[in-house]
A and B are shown apart, each in its own frame.
Chain A
Amino acid sequence: METVRAKVLYNQAETSSVYRLGLAYDAEARGARPARFLTLRFDGPTPHIVPRPFSVSDAFVHDDYGPVTEVLYKPLGRVTSALTRVRASDNLHVLGLLGNGFPEPAAGHTPILCAGGIGNAPFALQVRHLLAGPFASAPSRVVLLLAGRSSSDIYIQPWVREAGITILETTDDGSRGARGRITDLIQTHWSNWTRPELYACGPAPMLHALQSFAIARGVRCHLSTEERMACGYGVCNACVVESRREGVPEGHGDYLKSCVEGPVFECREIYA
């Protein structure tokens, strides 16, 4: 873990709410795993004090650029909006890699990757790792669900669409894919999947819904949480999520530091 300056290779809008940032940064060499993250900070155009956390969306070696780390982000507030104005060859301060990341699916289980909006971020890397490993000869068994409010929220890197995995889409307003929530989509297809194991990243209400669903169905479900962070490496105690334990009522559980003990928790470990 250290902070380095990394050059921006590209930074472009893929849809009106999804930007894709390429950095000359070797996440793979630093132990990349899906849902591990890094923090970004820039000196201009709008200097800020506290770095912001972003998932490693993808990590690969490019013919011209060499090792590339990709970040997907949604302009939401001060820093993410200013990030849209960062240009190729600008430098960002990158601290990484941080957090635990998603575990591999248990043998014989079907990974169901559940993305809500910008929660699509960790999944290209997860698909890459799954296809390089246990699913190399059966890519269609990897299922990626893309959910959002409307069509501009639906995005995954183009190579993932061509990788032969199963991709299903749903939007709240029906502007793309099925109309409805991600849980509706899961209900519809549930019987097609052998021993599903859920991986989720997205807004808190979605994580909450998937948590209830997974507990009711008795399946494993890994949630990538998004708490506000200051340090990202375990020293400030900003980023807490409440742990869940038998006999301890909600509101009384210990707080866990999601930057080091997470950001991924099995859904039975926390209150999402």
Chain B
Amino acid sequence: MTDPLAISLGPLRLRNPILVASGTFGSGEEAQRSLDLHELGGVVTKSVTRERRRGNPPPRIHETASGMLNSIGIMNPGLDGFLEHHLEAFRALPCARIVNVAGESSADFANLTESFGADPGIDGIELNVSCPNVSGGLDFGVDPKLLEPLVAEARRRTSKPLLVKLTPNVTDLAATARAAEAGGADILCLVNTYQGMAVDWRRRRPELGSPTGMGGLSGPAIKPLALAAVHKVRRAVRLPIVGIGGITDAEDVMEFLVAGASAVQVGTANFRGPETPLQIVRQLAELHTREKLGALSDWVGTLQVPRGRG
């Protein structure tokens, strides 16, 4: 019997539409040690960069109303460190394995993509063109003219499913989505965090320790923004979409599906505990049975916005 929650995400077949988001689940090893992740749709790694990154000075997180800010600064062991210490365990995960890479140049993205581009233990590569925490480098994700050739270059280095994770910190998300599509992306992921700030007014200082004082907002606070982003991009491109932003339960998952996502990633909610995404899978299975949802793909993008009001 096929799994009732199974779903196609472009070239990827997933056991269910629930993945975990980059930077919120390590590379799955920590959770796999105490849980069995075979029920999960997939794991996306923390962003891997060419060189190791130390990240920003602490404090690196601050809770806000229904959300949190982070300024981790893509702390990661770099490509060599990842290959040496994490790849083996990551490849052994019993669900879809997607490596997230981040670069400071188009060549970085291409080379990182190539490093994983032919690995049979990797099911897809996600380009993080959107992290607001990497200072110095260009923010490719905000400029369609930079984004399209960047994606095209990475595309040439792999035949694996190529996911592009977009930043919402732009005036025209449809334009960056179209650029990623034109560059040859298979799947679009949205959103990454929204740039934000928290202020300790008594000390006249930002709460976060990053050099800019700013960070990225995530959690339920951004869910309505992320739903609107998915809805907009759905109308602009034909590519399948992975919805990300504030998802904490199965109801949230269905909202994203109806708005146009074929799958979702769970981020901040994982900080409740490593079993969180599995609980959401189980909730979704229950909801599926209870409300006789049928094929999940039949729900994708079925949102109807009544016209001609007012």
Contacts and interface: CB of A to CB of B under 8 A. Distances in A.
Interface in A236-252: 236-241
Interface stretch (A21-29, A163-171, A183-191, A227-235): A227-235
B274 A240 contact: no
A238 B273 contact: no
A93 B63 contact: no
B272 A51 contact: yes
Contacts of A229: 61
Contact of B271 (A236, A255, A260): A236
B128 interface: no
Given A230-B68, A237-B46, A240-B75, A254 B54 contact: yes
B106 interface: no
Contacts, number: 98
B244 to A, nearest CB: 16
A194 B70 CA distance: 46
B55 A255 contact: yes
Given A49-B220, A255-B55, A236 B61 contact: yes
Interface string A122-159: 00000000000000000000000000000000000000
B171 interface: no
Contacts of A232: 271
Contacts of A79: 63
B272 A3 contact: yes
A236 B273 contact: no
A85 interface: no
A95 interface: yes
A65 B270 CA distance: 31
A236 B63 contact: no
A260 B26 CA distance: 13
Nearest to B26: A235
B195 to A, nearest CB: 18
Given A2-B275, A93-B272, A255-B75, A240 B220 contact: no
A229 B59 CA distance: 9
B75 A49 contact: no
A76 interface: no
B36 interface: no
A3 B61 contact: no
B68 A50 contact: yes
Given A49-B66, A50-B63, A240-B60, A233 B272 contact: no
B243 interface: no
B272 A41 contact: yes
A51 B59 CA distance: 16
Interface residues of B, number: 34
B66 A238 contact: no
Nearest to B60: A238
How many A residues touch the partner, as a band? 20 to 34
B54 A49 contact: no
A41 B270 CA distance: 13
A48 interface: yes
A255 B56 CA distance: 10
B45 to A, nearest CB: 10
Given A2-B34, A228-B59, A255-B55, A236 B72 contact: yes
A107 interface: no
Interface string B13-48: 000000000011110001101110000000000100
A48 B219 CA distance: 10
B63 A49 contact: yes
Given A49-B219, A237-B75, A95 B272 contact: yes
B54 A255 contact: yes
Contacts of A237: 23, 46, 55, 60, 72, 75
A105 to B, nearest CB: 30
A230 B26 contact: no
Contact of B274 (A1, A227, A255): A1
Given A49-B220, A255-B54, A234 B30 contact: yes
B271 A50 contact: yes
Interface of A: 1-3, 39, 41, 48-51, 78-79, 93, 95, 227-241, 254-255, 260
15 contacts: A1-B33, A3-B275, A3-B276, A49-B219, A49-B271, A79-B63, A228-B58, A229-B61, A235-B25, A236-B271, A237-B55, A237-B75, A239-B58, A240-B60, A255-B55
Given A2-B273, A228-B60, A231-B24, 16 more contacts: A1-B274, A2-B275, A3-B275, A49-B68, A49-B219, A230-B61, A230-B70, A230-B271, A231-B271, A233-B30, A233-B274, A235-B25, A235-B31, A235-B274, A237-B72, A237-B75
